[in-house]
Structure 1
């Protein structure tokens, strides 16, 4: 085969229905919120099914008074596919079930696909369903009403899978697994850094606190809410810009993989604009997540923030990183939890409570010195995260090429 043919080659496809024995959904009884103990029955949450990864700890306990239905028990070798979700990108995500504890039941919002083992390797199916080609097919058939998106059993059966001989399917699985082992080793190294960073942060905040001033946050920083969504201005004098919402502001980092835009008056830009070094804190969520946040690194020019995200801009007496260290500490979290307003499903804090937060203020030179070891660990963590992202990208590209026949899997 010539080089140019190898680049553009694609395989013939076959309907997934012809490779499966069965497609079924599960059962969703009313469950306890707590996870099941190892000797208890449980029902998987929808969050147990992520793209390429099965998370068996995401389960709810089946009440003792409710008889389990063992026919829905999830087994090693199952391929699970989410069939409905309020977020489009989470509909049709699939994973192969490897080792799994006993007594976990399939929920109604998840399909279980049983492969014909003479034609289809279940592990290969899990990989193929997470590929770009299958994702495009799922997006094309997805339907949605009232913020709920879904696919049907018939939609799954009509998906076209690349026609790959069984022996080659297994070689593709082997190639994919080699990437997973390397990525897993990096992720384990990254996990080990988290408690180290927390310990160093605790050491930094516990040093000489008795000698530090303690003042309300409003004395050392300005606190502002962002753009209120809803009625947007139109016409001349307006501009459409990206903004950060609660989903973008995580604990210790900002996730901008998915950002939305909003239209505002040009005259309002300075009021809502972010600057590099602004600390972003979330207004609401679960009680233990109140005030979670991170320092904005300015990666998007002309970026705004939503009204449910507070922008904290430090003055000369406080560095953003030291303030972020304090707000995310047990003491900082305890403050937010003590003043948060709890409703049935959510908790929230307001800007007045954020401004009144008592904050220790060591000299700026001391802040920088104390942050040194923490920054060193965070730099190492950032390097590992970069390696993981890079390997995931390479893995995806290699698997796509193998699935479409642009390169051959090694024997």
Structure 2
């Protein structure tokens, strides 16, 4: 883990790239991935190389006034994207230093269980570093923590104004939603051929001389918490999900446990299309001048959520509560929509419930910088925290699902790893 101290003035407008050195665990994963790659034959899906998950990186946002307290946050949102919200919060609470650690969602979950003393949890975590707030892109794992008694309830004027579907038991709160889309490189895939539905994607994969042969990418559900969630929800809403996976496997799909390296390969021309992309990541690149294009599927569109909770192990819940209220306030929601490109929670819930159109954040129009007609209300699939997301967290069901996923995709040797998330 690396630690960066950010001066409140010197870095007010420039958020640095956070470097990370390879860990021993990554080296072991790299060796295992190399062995698997050597064993796989033609027509098999392949990982996009060794584990691409960055190690945890801690950033300290110093108080702008005399420091009185430290708020610790574990989050799966990139630090650079969340920094403006932290700085805006510190304008309201200038004596609070924020220690923000960017972690993978699986790591956030494992550490929370360890701090709670859960049976079978990972090795003990230093209590002095216990986070006061958890923010994760895996609403299923956050729901599980709350359901198992590892979250504190929070009620305030801000939480009482939230619509049903934006929270679970006043313990797990949706901060925003992210449309799950397809992204493609127009230099490698003619826009006229770009699929608007999963059925069209399947037909394109099966086409002789398909431009997607060896050039389609998606999440590795065996190694990514969000990838697993999206794969399970595809199987829930699409009766042909296994057929699509098989076609991806036959096309030698490239798998990754983090979306950024897959998008890097897409921009570099190694991939032509990436399936199941959180729109916020692609839109951020497009805002920076990337030529990538985004397709909002017309058959149905998953809306995954960013969920926050105050863990029962928090040392300073009194600091987490005002920050959570800030994130849920109109001011905080506007900052999140602008800088993280998340859909505001109230708009996402209304769209899924009432069939309202959604605008992708940072762009004008109903579905700007994106292709495909806006799905009807019945086609939005909001993955908000709740008991329905716990179905696939049952250990036996999880193992069976991942074995079926790996078999459909043509990934060998999934039997042991399928029991791990």
TM range (shorter): under 0.3
TM-score normalised by the chain length of structure 1: 0.23
Structure possessing the higher radius of gyration over alpha carbons: 1
TM-score normalised by the chain length of structure 2: 0.23
Bigger relative contact order, structure 1 or 2 (CA pairs below 8 A, ≥6 apart): 2
